[in-house]
Chain A
């Protein structure tokens, strides 16, 4: 091969090294964070970061805007909470059930939604998730407006006591890392390559012989399952399940987190979620209406840095200097 490919390979190697260094730094920060910050706050950030990463698998890497992801996230919160509280499931089994439930819901909702494109796709996901919301409002096992309270955290693998805040934190961190790794693995796989080509040019992917609906459905179910993983964790972190997690505002919030952080990047949704959760936490003590501020942030984001926090960083001169991006 030619010199051009040589230089680009060396460039890729530096980019990889810088990326690995950043990942290690982030992990170290997360390992020491609970000694400085409130573990519950950090766990909330991690749950939403995983939720946003799962959502981004669909929006950023497949090009599908779902407006119904609260159904998978909140659905899993209920499934896990119910299984652990009423059926006495272990925490790991409860979470797995949440994931499975979310995946099945993803299969059903995805099956109908992928038949349409763009705004119609978003409308169908919204409509079906609203149907699920009303189901949760009426159903017996969700306890309606009261929600499920006092969900026990239990013992992980029967011997690690999750009521111990640090044990719980490192369990959440472990699952979070696994979940984000799964997203990364899917995106950087032969299957992920086809997802990206569908995002880039769906008709071309069809003309190359790919049954794009099957790929979209596959991505939808994976995204729903990972959103369910985040939901299952959240049920154990907060020890309750309420209607807020299945409401449409939750679907909007995850879109905001993902856009704010930068769609189509692995780290964008993580930073976006951290930012939104932090802002919400501060505002909840001031009495300032949170929705007003998130709305304002959203407008500023769309007007000023459309690529999101991480997206803008990747496109910046600093990223070029670090070798993360090739100079134009």
Chain B
């Protein structure tokens, strides 16, 4: 178990967006977090990555209590997230986007007196990552000029560039074309061999295909948990999430 949350709760004013959530994310497993719109999935991500401070509860990453840790520090410990709305650096080139991630280790990023060419040592690794997601031909385009699906792919490649121990992906395939969905699914399957993945995903085909464990969230609380078969046969889940068309 690399990441775990106990009795996680978050209030916004009088409204409880997340309540009593327990999650255990394991090494070399893909864990899905699903649930209807507004269930609190993104809020859980924000809590786990410390972009939001939990009202109560406890979060542990790799054996260390991170309940009070700053988000950038959590990221440096190896828990890296992607965002529901594609998060890239639009006016940097595709290659530069990747290098921003690659240049973090070491003290390269504080060197304000050195030329940018000092970053060229990262190019080989960057191109390798870009090739693995099929972006190598666009390495010199501005990220803003990519299609929406390609932007998401770039975001995932940037996340992987940090070689995180735990990956949190918030709807990584939303807005992608069919081809990219297949490619990204393969990519996730591949990276999950050596690290833990927690992902929010609406596409149930992807979830059933890719995920070892599923947590269903509804109105901020856990409705059901287990593998795909268990969850999809759960009566409450059928009613709440999958609707009647799943009979």
Write the residues of chain A forming the contact surface with B, with a CB cutoff of 8 angstroms: 1-2, 4-5, 8, 185-186, 188-194, 196-197, 200-201, 203-212, 218, 222
Contact = CB atoms under 8 A, between A and B. Distances in A.
B83 interface: yes
Contacts of A208: 75, 80, 100-101, 104, 158, 162
Given A2-B137, A207-B83, A208-B80, A193 B127 contact: no
Given A201-B88, A206-B72, A5 B83 contact: no
B139 interface: yes
Contacts of A5: 139-140
B113 interface: yes
Interface stretch (B53-61, B115-123, B186-194, B220-228): B115-123
Given A4-B140, A191-B112, A222-B112, A209 B76 contact: yes
Given A208-B162, A210-B72, A189 B116 contact: yes
Interface in B65-81: 70-73, 75-76, 80-81
7 contacts: A185-B113, A189-B112, A204-B87, A207-B83, A209-B104, A209-B162, A222-B112
Closest 3 CB pairs of A and B: A209-B75, A191-B112, A200-B89
A200 B116 CA distance: 18
Interface in B125-169: 127, 136-140, 158, 162
A212 B89 CA distance: 15
A190 B80 contact: no
A194 B109 contact: yes
B116 A188 contact: yes
B108 A203 contact: no
Nearest to B118: A190
Nearest to A7: B140
A194 B112 CA distance: 10
Contacts of A218: 110, 112
B112 A185 contact: yes
A193 B111 contact: no
Contacts of A207: 49, 51, 71, 75, 80-83, 87
B110 A206 contact: no
Contacts of A192: 112, 116
Nearest to A6: B140
B72 A212 contact: yes
A205 B159 CA distance: 11
B132 to A, nearest CB: 15
B146 to A, nearest CB: 14
B100 A194 contact: yes
Interface string B76-109: 1000111100011111100010011101100011
B229 interface: no
Contacts of B101: 208
Nearest to A11: B140
A206 B46 CA distance: 12
Given A2-B136, A203-B87, A208-B162, A191 B111 contact: yes
Given A190-B114, A193-B103, 11 more contacts: A4-B137, A185-B112, A190-B109, A191-B111, A194-B100, A206-B51, A207-B49, A208-B80, A209-B76, A209-B162, A210-B104
A188 B87 CA distance: 23
Contacts of A222: 112
A194 B119 CA distance: 12
Nearest to A2: B137
A193 B51 CA distance: 23
B109 A191 contact: yes
B113 A206 contact: no
Given A8-B140, A192-B112, A193-B103, A211 B72 contact: yes
A201 B89 contact: yes
Contacts of A211: 70, 72-73
Contact of B83 (A2, A188, A204, A212): A204
